[in-house]
């Protein structure tokens, strides 16, 4: 695996360093984002916040603005909280990493092994797939007991003298060769050890729990101008997703609006929730409700907008 990784690994910016801060940022970004999509965000984020101190001293709104477009904004908030908690030298022990906001067992193992050579296996979705196929294991990888067994198996396989490279090699194998739907078994460096390949079951594994049912949600988003200003509403601090972000009002949050012509439709997906926004022009002359504000149309680029709102405004 180490020989294959040395030959085949992708040249990624976070692989050119052993800086735990840079590795941490990359691992958090890659939790819910493909490598190709994360690259540009990573480089911009690192340019804006090159050190843990610069991130700790930043305003949360600035951190969220740099994160805008990546989604799952709790990741950015936890990064900011963790940077403040570090308050100096980056922790170099697994247990110290594990207590930081937003860092679980996988991320602590990844940072610890790559930056500090700590012998902990980093078990993510890619690695679970690789292990299930290697051992021809039909266990549900979403089951906690099965996951614990896979983690123990991964720890057995780990090369303790090169834990960072070995973890990255296994991740790379899952990301580029042992892929979900059409594994490239002919190019796999461990094909001869793969029990699922020998049994012809590689495309059947891993076994996952039942997917969540898709939820379709219809929203009528309202574009309301008053001169050069547009009416927006800010998500409350108790909002489940993206608190503090601004978005267009809709027919539920502003029921007294006079709805006019349709501008267009946009779609937006968050996990299993599929939104279809019908964007309409509207008029409203009432008293400004709590949470609402008029934002100058030429300063919307400086406003922390939800991704769905950005999509809707592109229709205008």
Structure tokens at 116: 């500090």
pLDDT at 211 over 80: no
Residue 313: what pLDDT?
92
Residue 239: what pLDDT?
66
Cα dist from 198 to 131, 132, 136, 192, 194, whole Å: 14, 13, 9, 8, 6
Structure tokens at 281: 């022009």
Average pLDDT value for the chain:
93
Residue 98: what pLDDT?
95
Residue 142: what pLDDT?
87
Domain ranges of the chain: 2-199, 215-313
Residue 285 vs residue 162, higher pLDDT: 162
**Catalytic residue IDs:** 27
CATH of domain 2-199: 1.10.340.30
What mean pLDDT comes out for the span 37-60?
Answer: 96
pLDDT digits (tens, 9 = 90+) for 160-188: 999 999 999 999 999 999 999 999 999 99
Residue 64 vs residue 242, higher pLDDT: 64
pLDDT digits (tens, 9 = 90+) for 121-131: 999 999 999 99
pLDDT digits (tens, 9 = 90+) for 91-123: 999 999 999 999 999 999 999 999 999 999 999
pLDDT digits (tens, 9 = 90+) for 55-92: 999 999 999 999 988 888 899 999 999 999 998 899 99
Q: Which CATH superfamily is domain 215-313 in?
A: Nucleoside Triphosphate Pyrophosphohydrolase (3.90.79.10)
Write down how long the chain is: 316
pLDDT digits (tens, 9 = 90+) for 295-313: 999 999 889 999 899 999 9
Residue 43 vs residue 213, higher pLDDT: 43
Q: What percent of the chain has pLDDT over 70?
A: 99
What are φ and ψ of residue 250, in 5° steps? -130, -175
pLDDT digits (tens, 9 = 90+) for 267-282: 999 878 899 999 999 9
User: pLDDT band at residue 210, thresholds of 50, 70 and 90?
Assistant: low
Per-position b or e across 199-237, b if 16+ CB within 10 A of its CB: eeebeebbeeeeeeeeeeeebbbbbbeeeeebbbbbbee
């Amino acid at each position: 695996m180490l020989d294959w990784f040395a030959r085949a690994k992708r040249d990624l910016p976070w692989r050119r360093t052993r800086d735990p801060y840079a590795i941490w940022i990359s691992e958090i970004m890659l939790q819910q984002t493909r490598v190709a999509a994360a690259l540009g965000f990573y480089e911009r984020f690192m340019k804006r916040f090159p050190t843990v101190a610069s991130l700790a001293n930043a305003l949360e709104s600035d951190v969220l603005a740099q994160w805008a477009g990546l989604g799952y904004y709790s990741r950015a908030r936890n990064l900011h909280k963790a940077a403040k908690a570090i308050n100096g030298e980056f922790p170099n022990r697994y247990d110290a990493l594990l207590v930081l906001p937003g860092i679980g067992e996988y991320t602590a193992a990844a940072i610890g092994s790559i930056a500090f050579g700590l012998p902990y296996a980093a078990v993510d979705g890619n690695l679970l797939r690789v292990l299930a196929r290697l051992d021809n294991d039909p266990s549900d990888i979403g089951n906690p007991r099965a996951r614990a067994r896979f983690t123990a198996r991964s720890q057995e396989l780990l090369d303790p003298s090169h834990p960072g490279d070995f973890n990255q090699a296994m991740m790379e194998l899952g990301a580029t060769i042992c892929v979900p739907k059409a594994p490239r078994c002919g190019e796999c460096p461990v094909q001869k050890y793969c029990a699922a390949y020998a049994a012809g079951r590689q495309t059947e594994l891993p076994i996952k729990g039942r997917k969540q049912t898709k939820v379709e949600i219809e929203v009528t988003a309202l574009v309301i101008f008053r001169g050069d200003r547009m009416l927006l509403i800010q998500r409350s601090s108790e909002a489940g997703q993206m608190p503090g972000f601004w978005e267009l009002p809709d027919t539920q949050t502003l029921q007294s609006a006079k709805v006019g012509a349709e501008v267009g439709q946009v779609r937006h997906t968050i996990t299993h929730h599929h939104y279809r926004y019908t964007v309409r022009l509207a008029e409203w002359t009432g008293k400004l409700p709590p949470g609402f504000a008029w934002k100058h149309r030429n300063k919307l680029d400086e406003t922390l907008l939800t991704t769905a709102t950005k999509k809707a405004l592109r229709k205008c």
